[in-house]
Amino acid sequence: MTAPSDDASVAQRIARSFPSLSQSHREVARYVLAHPLKAATLPVAELAELVGVSVATANRFARALGFEGYAQFRAALVLGFEGALAPVEKLRGDLERPADPASVIDATFAAIARNLEATRSSLDAGACERAVAAIRSARRVYVVGFGSSSWPAGLLARNLDLTRQDVHLLATVEGPAFAARALRRLTADDLVIVLATPRYFADTVRLASQARESGASVLALTDGPHSPVAARATIMLCVRTDSRYFAASDASLAALVEALSSAVAHASGELVAAATRLTESVLPWLDGDYAAWPPKGGFTPSSDPDPEP
């Protein structure tokens, strides 16, 4: 599909043509303006059904805006959402291919395994060493991740906190405003770790830019040099995030977080002491029967769920 030569956006075309549109065409226009992203994903029959008009009316609406037909109208609408719509279009195609749940689960595990192996084999040893050194030497470490990246960001902050002080997670209920306020204190001695995979949050990119402008080092955990945070990074570690059903697979990023945390812990040389201090601090909060889990000799499940003493 090719977009029309007219440079006007779909919204501009609707505004320009609205006075001359028929009542049914205006209903389609109102729906498109209210739900542009959804409209960009819909075949003509689905859009017509949602609005309550005929397929022919939906096609005539596209022509009334100056398009050759609905396909060209939808192509123009998609242009503003290409990055965001890619997973939607991919998912639409996948759902059209029948598969039982076991097959989907098996295929997902296989895809995760491919992502992990591609990530492992492509990691640059020098970049890994620089990342670990930057984390260990920084005065303070800030971790930024929003959306799906907020979970691995929290895991990274939690793991780094075991072996070093001044680790700050900036993904809070207050959102990016809190992160922006915290980063105003940045100096060249600080490190900001930015996690971002599709779909990329604009706030993450802006905060990475703010960090660089402050002179701080920026470690990006992202999915490749095409990522918008890549240009803001002083160090970058990349993961493969291919997914059939989501914008990106989270498994590779979570695995990189654990691997990086492990490398930092190993390099600290104080892991045993740190683990001991952590155990002593959390022991009072653990259930007494499971404080030393797993039991010595391993755990053998009983066939009786509630055996007699």
Q: Once rounded to an integer, what is the mean pLDDT over residues 190-213?
A: 90
Indicate if the pLDDT at residue 282 is higher than 70: no
What's the total number of domains in the chain? 2
Q: Are 225 and 246 in contact (CB under 8 A)?
A: no
Indicate if the pLDDT at residue 114 is higher than 90: yes
Task: Say if pTM beats, i.e. exceeds, 0.75.
Answer: no
Same domain, residue pair 29 and 129: no
Same domain, residue pair 28 and 173: no
d(CA 128, CA 124): 6
Residue 289 belongs to a domain = no
Same domain, residue pair 180 and 245: yes
pLDDT, tens digit, 9 for 90 and up, residues 214-251: 999 999 999 988 888 998 999 999 999 988 777 788 99
Same domain, residue pair 65 and 140: no
d(CA 130, CA 264): 11
d(CA 50, CA 25): 13
Alpha-carbon dihedral of residues 45, 46, 50, 54, nearest 10 degrees?
0
Q: b/e for 5-26, b at 16 or more Cβ within 10 A?
A: eeeeebeebbeebeeebeebbe
For residue 31 the two structure tokens come to 């729906």
pLDDT band at 194 (very low <50, low <70, confident <90, very high): very high
For residue 20 the two structure tokens come to 């001359």
Question: How many CB atoms are closer than 10 A to CB 97?
Answer: 7
Same domain, residue pair 152 and 237: yes
Range of the domain at 194: 108-270
Q: Provide CB contacts within 8 A for 196, sequence distance 6+.
A: 145, 149, 204, 205, 208, 220, 221, 222, 227, 228, 229
- Tell me which residue has tokens 């959102």: 175
d(CA 143, CA 248): 20
Q: Once rounded to an integer, what is the mean pLDDT over residues 173-184?
A: 76
Q: Is 56 exposed, middle or buried (0-12, 13-18, 19+ CB in 10 A)?
A: exposed
Same domain, residue pair 18 and 69: yes
For residue 141 the two structure tokens come to 């470490």
Same domain, residue pair 266 and 131: yes
Residue 209 belongs to a domain = yes
Q: Can you give the CATH number for the domain in which 43 is found? A: 1.10.10.10
Return the biggest CA–CA distance within the chain. Answer: 84
Same domain, residue pair 80 and 116: no
- Cα angle 146-148-152, degrees, rounded to a multiple of 5: 85
- Tell me which residue has tokens 């930057």: 134
Indicate if the pLDDT at residue 137 is higher than 90: yes
